[in-house]
Amino acid sequence: MPYSEDEFLMISGLQHLAFCPRQCALIHMEQAWSENVLTALGEVMHERVHTAGAESRSDVRIVRGLKLKSARLGLTGVADVVEFHKVSPETSDNCNAAPSVCQGVKLPKRSGLWVPYPVEYKHGKPKPDNCDAVQLCAQAICLEEAFNVQLTSGALFYGQSRQRVVVELTPELRRETESLALQFHQLISSGVIPPPVLQKRCQNCSMVDVCLPSAGGNVQQWVDSMVEKNLKERIS
Task: Name the site residues for ligand SF4 (rule: CB under 6 A).
Answer: 20, 22-23, 196-197, 199, 201-202, 205, 207-208, 211, 213
Least CB distance to ligand SF4 at residue 206 (A) = 8
Least CB distance to ligand SF4 at residue 25 (A) = 8
DSSP structure string for 41-101: HHHHHHHHHHTT--EEETTEEEEEEEEEEETTTTEEEEEEEEEEEEPPHHHHHH----TTS
Cα 236 to Cα 62, 114, 134, 140, 222: the distances in Å are 60, 69, 50, 58, 21
Task: Indicate the SS3 state at residue 120.
Answer: strand
Q: Under a CB-based contact definition with an 8 Å cutoff, are residues 12 and 77 in contact?
A: yes
Nearer to ligand SF4, 181 or 205 (CB): 205
Nearer to ligand SF4, 27 or 87 (CB): 27
Nearer to ligand SF4, 163 or 199 (CB): 199
Gap between the Cα atoms of 215 and 217, Å rounded = 5
Least CB distance to ligand SF4 at residue 163 (A) = 24
Nearer to ligand SF4, 2 or 195 (CB): 195
CB atoms under 10 Å from CB of 183, counted, come to 15
Nearer to ligand SF4, 81 or 205 (CB): 205
> Quick one: 118 exposed, middle or buried, by C-beta within 10 A (0-12, 13-18, 19+)?
buried
Least CB distance to ligand SF4 at residue 179 (A) = 19
Task: Indicate the SS3 state at residue 208.
Answer: helix
Least CB distance to ligand SF4 at residue 23 (A) = 4
Least CB distance to ligand SF4 at residue 195 (A) = 8
Least CB distance to ligand SF4 at residue 159 (A) = 22
Beta bridge partners of 70: 75
Nearer to ligand SF4, 16 or 185 (CB): 16
Gap between the Cα atoms of 114 and 52, Å rounded = 21
Nearer to ligand SF4, 115 or 211 (CB): 211
